[in-house]
Structure 1
Amino acid sequence: MMPLAPDSCLIVSLHQIPVFFIRMVCPSIPFLSTLLSMHCGPFLMGDLLKWILVSIVQFVVGKRFYVAAFRALRHGSTNMDVLVVLGTTASYVYSVCALLYGAFTGYRPPVYFETSAMIITFVLFGKYLEVLAKGKTSDAIKKLVELVPSTALLVLKDKEGKHVGEREIDALLVQPGDVLKVLPGSKVPADGVVVWGTSHVNESMITGESAPVPKEVSSVVIGGTINLHGILHIQATKVGSGTVLSQIISLVETAQMSKAPIQKFADYVASIFVPIVITLSIVTFSVWFLCGWLGAYPNSWVSENSNCFVFSLMFAISVVVIACPCALGLATPTAVMVATGIGANHGVLVKGGDALERAQNVNYVVFDKTGTLTQGKAVVTTAKVFSGMDLGDFLTLVASAEASSEHPLAKAVLDYAFHFHFFGKLPSSKDGIEQRKDEVLSQWLLEAEDFSAVPGKGVQCSINGKHVLVGNRTLITENGVTIPPEAENFLVDLESNAKTGILVAFDGDFVGLMGVTDPLKREAAVVVEGLKKLGVHPVMLTGDNWRTAQAVAKEVGIEDVRAEVMPAGKADVVRSLQKDGSIVAMVGDGINDSPALAAADVGMAIGGGTDIAIEAADYVLVRNNLEDVITAIDLSRKTFSRIRWNYFFAMAYNVVAIPVAAGALFPFTGLQMPPWLAGACMAFSSVSVVCSSLLLRRYRKPRLTTVLQITVE
């Protein structure tokens, strides 16, 4: 159906009201009745006026139906427009023929111009209500667009970099690298990094997290969020379509326009629905007409000013008009539009209707460990030397080797070594220490040569001409280094307590190890238990050693553990779970998770993860909260439960309405559905499906405290 403007309904009303007035009111007013009974040539004044007014409705306002029906037929398909054109044209052509017949013969059979006009009126009015209702499904996008500020305060600097003033500019003119001033209560105009000031920022409109987030120098800020207290100077890093907010809007728009696979069923039904309806209409006319011609029903059934042909034709037109493939076509897209908008409001971004559909049938949820089940903030808890090397020299050696690595464990090692050497020797302010950290590290780190990272194992390099290995047990043993028994016992104890051991070898000899822990997310255990209640089997997938993996899995309640898996092997694990036809969801955050995210039926990327992981996933969990895994699955199930109800009501409507329109009840009850009423029923059936989908707007995500009470629907 072509887009409907509000003016169309106004035009129809201006022409339909006089037609209705002439038909229903004027006969009761003697003066007007006499006026309309006057002859204008061979025609009655009333019939001529109706013909003129209805012709405007039929061919000017109703042009959209003819154009859409022609396009559909030209492409070898049929739709609701074809039914509207058939029903209204049949009524209009019959009325014109009856009018001309009466003008030339003197016998004036009844005309049904108002039937054609009222069908178009009700269909357009229903479509107008449908447009209004569907407009509510895009509220999420509207709210997101409204978050974008219109202006920004640009900080002006001289050639020496000194602050010399400020200028208000259009937010669209902000360029990467510009320094912007954000006042308390105003919106952050672009994604960036704080370069001066401290404050708290409300990020709930992006992440769904209600608690204000503290911001200080080097903190990342998101465009569209609200600065609550202090003044901030931020350096823009992403502007325009590259901002987080723009990407979220793009994702939501794409998802709302996409088709879920279940929509193919509706498309197939609609493709055969219209031919079936036309056939039923012809059969209806033929049966009633033949029965009347053969005298199978009494003449009293036909009104005095009608005949058997008209009596049968009205039933046939009602069948064509009341049939509603449009309701079937709206059942899925409207629900998907609402669900993706609701998901965005709750920090769950869905990339398409197909992903939304697959999530309802998830059998396995595979969790990456580091940064997904855990906080991703590794902390060194202990360091022990098993040679004659001084602990300080040991930490310097390890930090020098790890300085070129981007792994989270490397950062933890550097932080530990830094604070061991310098905490207390610099100003007591932690901020002061952190701001000078890079400067201090460069002064005492040793130069590492021939550095290389060994995926899933660790790093190796040369320091002072001697080979250094820093990594897991596999890296050490593969290079022929023997681990002393006392170190092995210490390592086993660490791993049994959910800590990862970092082993260090220098010049072919084992020198020591460090224990690293990554605290679990507070909600991890409850989310795992909630998934089990949903009938979903949780799996933990990690490159860490078996003992540490088993300890972490036991703490969160996961029985199925896959440990010591290399990055390339994670996708193979996912495929192995899919072999029996199971639907697998993968939750991850890192670059090494992207192959598994892409291989999974449903990939869920933690919002705080890498861009590559987010690109490979079907869902983006913006808040970096595992609760949203349950929200994603629960929202999918609620959405497709609503879609199935939509299909049921649309099918049931047609199954009941078509026989009634065909006159199946007329012999027993005298109930007859005139074509104009059939048009009203057809129009409002589409509106009812849209309103059914809008009930999803009442969706409330499962709370952490009640997630264990979720049952499978």
Structure 2
Amino acid sequence: MAPDLEAQGIGVEHVVLSVSGMTCTGCETKLIRNLSAVAGVKNLKTSLILSRAEFDVDLSVLRVKDAIRYLERTTEFRYDLINSSGSSMEVIVSEDLSCFLGRPTPEGVTEMTAIGKNNVRVVFDPQVVGSRDLIEEHWAGIATLAPTRGDPALRAGRKHVYHVGYMTAASAALTVPVLVMAWAPIPKREMAYSAASLALATLVQVVIAGPFYPKALKALVFSRVIEMDLLIVLSTSAAYVFSLVSFAYLAAGNPLPTGQFFETSTLLITLIMVGRYVAALARQKAVESISIRSLQTQNAFLVDGPDSLEGREIDVRLLQYGDIFMVVPDTRVPTDGTILSGSTEVDESMLTGESCPVEKTPGFSVIAGTINCSGTLLVRTTRLPGDNTISTIATMVDAAKLSKPKMQELADKVASYFVPVIVALTVVTFAIWIAVGVNVQGKTGSQAAIQSITYAITVLIVSCPCAIGLAVPMVVVFASGIAAEQGVIFKSAGAIEAAHKTSHVVFDKTGTLTQGKLGVAAEHHLEDGESRLPLLLGLVGHSKHPVSVAVSDHLRRKGVLATTIQSVNSVTGRGMEGQLGEKTLQAGNAGWLNFPDHPTVQTVTTQGFTTFCFAIDGKLCSVFGLRDSLRDDALDVVAKLQRRSISVHVVSGDDDGPVQNIASILGIPAGNVKARSSPADKRTYVQNLLAESSGQMEPVVLFCGDGTNDAVALAQATVGVHMNAGSDIAQSAADVVLMRPALSGLITVIDTSKVAVRRIKFNFVWSFVYNTFAVFLAAGAFVKVRIPPEFAGLGELVSVLPVIIAALLLRWTKI
């Protein structure tokens, strides 16, 4: 039952816990069932690979501390709080901890929690108070910033690996003497050796295997889950108890013919621990290898002002909003900011995948983790290290790792039945070998029972559901991490599972297929119109409208010098108007200027260009045709999609002419093009594609867009892909975010999905083959060939390593 907890607060807090001791799917199921039973816990997500649980806590119902305490009592796992709402830092206190915690809380500090003998975790609102102000002003001489310990999730994972390693080493140290006394060619001192073996085996059973008992029993009592730990408890206990009984017979002077096999239980436990240590180590290395947060630099050079190069080096965690820091050549940018002075080239390949450095001048933004190549920069902080681009990407990648595709549901269902089936097979194996021993081999009942126990123990321990449980999440972790390194962020594991089956790709036009930046593609002048271009530049040169900016840039590149125009007005939705002496100057769309049927205008319009006209006193002087330039890789990407028999579509809010023109250039059939589309129209278009049926295959629609008006279609599509330069609303609706401004990311999305699903299928096949063969071999189905019970503990290692290796090889797979 969930605890009866008193209301302690208001609002909702997002909690991220690192879980030590969660080693199999049964463990994960136990955690889910226990957390789901707690009132006030919502939006629960867990990850076996990350050893993590995320959930929201309704503070009007439950305190976070109470939730953690309840979980520790019912699951026997250890939990570390690695994240909650607000910014946080860890400080080392020089005075008595109770005195420090009893001090008046500075404004902006929301929580202070003791996490060690002299350490305190401080949660604060960085908009109210900065970390440096707290350390250097409020707590000067009392508290100092604790040494950085890297990504808290990785740190918690390493802590678990170390613990398992220590326990494995201790188990091995206690087991080796037992093996020597049992197998080594030394003088036989049966009673002395048996007594020593009993003492050592008891230590192994109590100290090393002891933690398995409460875990297994609490899983059974609180969660009604029969998990892998129960198999370990049953098998090792059976071997130990049998040997204990045999030792009692020996001490009584009536030894059993089989003797004791304390080496079986001790070696079994040691091999299980070796398997778990190797699996935990491999999982940890896998997570570390694709950690985006490792790009975060640890130090920043804080300068005294916007015109100063003097300052001091500080821990990057002490940066505050508005701080100015210096970035010297060949160093990483510590956090997101805006350049105040200096020019340089920045290597943004960690974000965009593009190898060519990007030119940066004052006013440009720089991104955390990117590398400054040449010049020295002064940058004003706009986002703190705990909430910068690196953190944002890492959060989105973690969200994909924590989400579960449909394949995982199948794996979880199989794993939930696995242990009960193995227990049933163990009982059947024991019964069969009793019958075989007595009726076929002519053994006595006790001899047959002893033989049956060894077969039953082997069946119990050789099987392993861990490979099934890791089959999907291990691949998802690697696939999402490797894709992130190429600038593709999967926000959900479902997108990884579905994208390879894409049958339709629907593009928005402006900002997606095109760069969203207009350029002059055609230019026509009537009579002496070209000589009057300085007047046009003077009229539109200061306008921020995209059409005016495009024409102004074009004229400046031609070397045109602007004439000063007085009384310039912007006419919304139409153009610009101004006066020069007695002359009235107008520039804008042909409809406003009453030239829609002019032959020159018609020439430009039929070419699919956006038309821009310039007139003096109502007389047409110049006509410009503007076109939004295609992205450099648009033609290549559309061709690749079509070669894969994927139907390509364009749905845009733009006029029919420009949309059809873009589609024609890209080779997209006219029937797959829809112009003048509202957000609702785009959603309907996607819905119609999803409603189509092609045999037994359900359509999979991938929609790629960038604007707020694309958000509905992004959410409607099977896989919504967002170009990162667009709006936050569209990004929130998407399943995938392309961090680089290139459509080639779509090919990466599909190829990553294809490779990942293949690996998942391989893992499922391997899990089935291994467990089937191992159980038959352990049960003695092959009669003359069997697995000795003392070596059955290697099963976990043999079953899990291929799954981990299959995922690890994704690093060297060309995507």
Q: TM-score range by the shorter chain?
A: 0.7 to 0.9
- Computing the radius of gyration over CA atoms, which structure comes out larger, 1 or 2? 1
Amino acid at match of 2:271: F
Partner residue of 1:543? 653
Q: CA deviation at 1:615?
A: 2.6
> SS of the counterpart of 1:238?
coil
CA distance in 2, matches of 1:87, 1:77: 18
Partner residue of 2:225? 77
Amino acid at match of 2:224: G
1:636/1:377 Cα in 2 relative to 1: closer, same or farther (>3 Å)?
same
Partner residue of 2:723? 606
- Superposed CA deviations along residues 576-612 of structure 1, whole A, max 9, x for unmatched, are 2112341111112222222222222211122333333
TM-score by length of 2: 0.72
Partner residue of 1:147? 295
- Which of 296, 314, 320 is the equivalent residue of 1:169? 314
- Which of 414, 425, 429 is the equivalent residue of 1:284? 429
- Which of 193, 202, 215 is the equivalent residue of 1:46? 193
Partner residue of 1:565? 677
Aligned: 1:100 with 2:244: no
Partner residue of 1:7? 166
Aligned: 1:362 with 2:502: yes
Could you tell me whether the CA contact under 8 Å between 1:79 and 1:326 is conserved in 2?
Answer: no
CA distance in 2, matches of 1:392, 1:614: 42
Could you tell me whether the CA contact under 8 Å between 2:462 and 2:795 is conserved in 1?
Answer: yes
> SS of the counterpart of 1:343?
helix
| Percent identity over paired residues | 34
Q: Which has the higher helix share?
A: 1
Partner residue of 2:85? none
Aligned: 1:129 with 2:278: yes
Aligned: 1:377 with 2:526: no
Aligned: 1:90 with 2:262: no
Partner residue of 1:270? 415
Could you tell me whether the CA contact under 8 Å between 1:385 and 1:394 is conserved in 2?
Answer: no
- Superposed CA deviations along residues 203-243 of structure 1, whole A, max 9, x for unmatched, are 12222211122222222211221111122222222222332
Aligned: 1:534 with 2:639: no
- Structure 1: segments with no counterpart, 5+ residues: 38-43, 427-439, 452-457, 702-713
1:252-401 → structure 2 map (5 Å cutoff): 252-293=397-438, 295-299=439-443, 307-382=447-522
> SS of the counterpart of 1:307?
helix
Greater relative contact order (Cα 8 A, min sep 6): structure 1 or 2?
1
> SS of the counterpart of 2:337?
strand
Q: CA deviation at 1:186?
A: 1.9
- Superposed CA deviations along residues 152-208 of structure 1, whole A, max 9, x for unmatched, are 223323xxx754733333322223333322211222222222222221111122222
Taking only aligned residues, the RMSD between alpha carbons, in angstroms, comes to: 3.3
Q: CA deviation at 1:470?
A: 5.8
Partner residue of 1:490? 603
1:585/1:508 Cα in 2 relative to 1: closer, same or farther (>3 Å)?
farther
Q: CA deviation at 1:279?
A: 0.8
CA distance in 2, matches of 1:557, 1:641: 31
TM-score by length of 1: 0.82
Partner residue of 1:424? 561
Could you tell me whether the CA contact under 8 Å between 2:271 and 2:794 is conserved in 1?
Answer: yes
Amino acid at match of 1:446: V
- Superposed CA deviations along residues 440-499 of structure 1, whole A, max 9, x for unmatched, are 9xx8573447x5xxxxxx5689999x9x996697xx79xxx783253662243331xxx3
1:133/1:56 Cα in 2 relative to 1: closer, same or farther (>3 Å)?
same
Count, aligned residues: 640
- Structure 2: segments with no counterpart, 5+ residues: 1-21, 24-159, 693-697
CA distance in 2, matches of 1:602, 1:504: 44
CA distance in 2, matches of 1:510, 1:241: 57
- Superposed CA deviations along residues 497-543 of structure 1, whole A, max 9, x for unmatched, are xx333579999999986421122222211211211233322212222
Aligned: 1:646 with 2:756: no
1:604/1:80 Cα in 2 relative to 1: closer, same or farther (>3 Å)?
same
1:69/1:416 Cα in 2 relative to 1: closer, same or farther (>3 Å)?
same
1:599/1:644 Cα in 2 relative to 1: closer, same or farther (>3 Å)?
same
Partner residue of 1:708? none
- Which of 376, 379, 383 is the equivalent residue of 1:231? 376
Partner residue of 1:704? none
CA distance in 1, matches of 2:807, 2:733: 29
Partner residue of 1:188? 333
Aligned: 1:661 with 2:809: no
- Which of 795, 809, 814 is the equivalent residue of 1:681? 795
1:365/1:510 Cα in 2 relative to 1: closer, same or farther (>3 Å)?
farther
Q: Which moved more, 1:633-642 or 1:520-529?
A: 520-529
Could you tell me whether the CA contact under 8 Å between 1:494 and 1:501 is conserved in 2?
Answer: no
Q: CA deviation at 1:328?
A: 0.4
- Which of 611, 620, 623 is the equivalent residue of 2:740? 623
Partner residue of 1:29? 186
CA distance in 2, matches of 1:662, 1:162: 79
1:437-448 → structure 2 map (5 Å cutoff): 446-448=568-570
Q: Which moved more, 1:638-647 or 1:554-563?
A: 554-563
Aligned: 1:520 with 2:630: yes
Q: CA deviation at 1:325?
A: 0.9
Q: CA deviation at 1:396?
A: 6.6
